[in-house]
A = this chain, B = another copy of it.
Amino acid sequence: MVRWEPNPRGRLQEAALALYGEHGFENTTVAEIAERAGLTERTFFRHYADKREVLFDGADAFTEAFVGTVANAPAPEAPIDAVTAGLLAAAALIASREFARQRQAIIAASPELQERELSKFASLSTSLADTLRERGLDEPAATLTSELATAVFRVAFERWIEESEDRDLSQLIRESLDQLRAVTAGA
């Protein structure tokens, strides 16, 4: 008789996050994650390519929401407005501030994970620039706009996970966009 185990991805993620927090990312093995989750290593590898990927589970959905919203924004909209809509759509997918805090502390402790995170953001920025060009925005405006957008997200997100912060991520994104306009208008 095979026992049905619901939500293996979520359980693997929870187990990994707990173990990375307790022993550090480098000192945790896939076998330990699977064991903690009550699953097999084979099940782990059916869901994740490696132990880094557990921490980037939502990255594709995030990119899809972001870029998809920009692609489908009404045509006359200014690029920065389309990008703002994309940022807010993607941000809406990030549900748990506590999970985000734990995850970020683990990434901050590992150069390998920091590099992976930077490279995920770089891919996001490239997809976004492609989409902006398809919407008729020229270079270098397309690449600049996409770099701005990812910078705005990173800054807002870092504030959002600060212990003292209780405003919504969407509000912090809007504030960062306002700051961006103030900073560039200063010249």
Partner of A179, one of B78, B141, B183, B185: B141
- Quick check: is A96 within 8 A (CB to CB) of the other chain? no
- Quick check: is A115 within 8 A (CB to CB) of the other chain? yes
Partner of A155, one of B79, B122, B144, B183: B144
Given contacts A115-B119, A144-B179, 16 further A-B contacts (CB under 8 A): A78-B186, A80-B183, A111-B119, A115-B115, A118-B118, A140-B176, A143-B155, A144-B152, A144-B155, A144-B176, A144-B183, A147-B151, A148-B151, A177-B187, A184-B185, A185-B185
- Quick check: is A42 within 8 A (CB to CB) of the other chain? no
Task: Report the Cα distance A156→B119, complex, angstroms.
Answer: 20
Task: Report the Cα distance A159→B138, complex, angstroms.
Answer: 13
Task: Report the Cα distance A183→B81, complex, angstroms.
Answer: 10
Task: Report the Cα distance A141→B180, complex, angstroms.
Answer: 7
Task: Report the Cα distance A57→B184, complex, angstroms.
Answer: 31
Task: Report the Cα distance A40→B140, complex, angstroms.
Answer: 44
- Quick check: is A181 within 8 A (CB to CB) of the other chain? yes
Q: Known contacts being A84-B187, A114-B119, A115-B115, is A151 close to B144, with CB within 8 Å?
A: yes
Q: Known contacts being A115-B119, A119-B114, A151-B151, is A187 close to B183, with CB within 8 Å?
A: no
- Quick check: is A154 within 8 A (CB to CB) of the other chain? yes
- Chain A residues in the interface with B (C-beta under 8 A): 78-81, 84, 111, 114-115, 118-119, 122, 139-141, 143-145, 147-148, 151-152, 154-156, 158-159, 175-177, 179-187
Q: Chain B contacts of A158 at CB under 8 A?
A: 143
Task: Report the Cα distance A140→B182, complex, angstroms.
Answer: 11
> Closest CB-CB distance, A68 to chain B, in whole Å?
21
Task: Report the Cα distance A115→B148, complex, angstroms.
Answer: 20
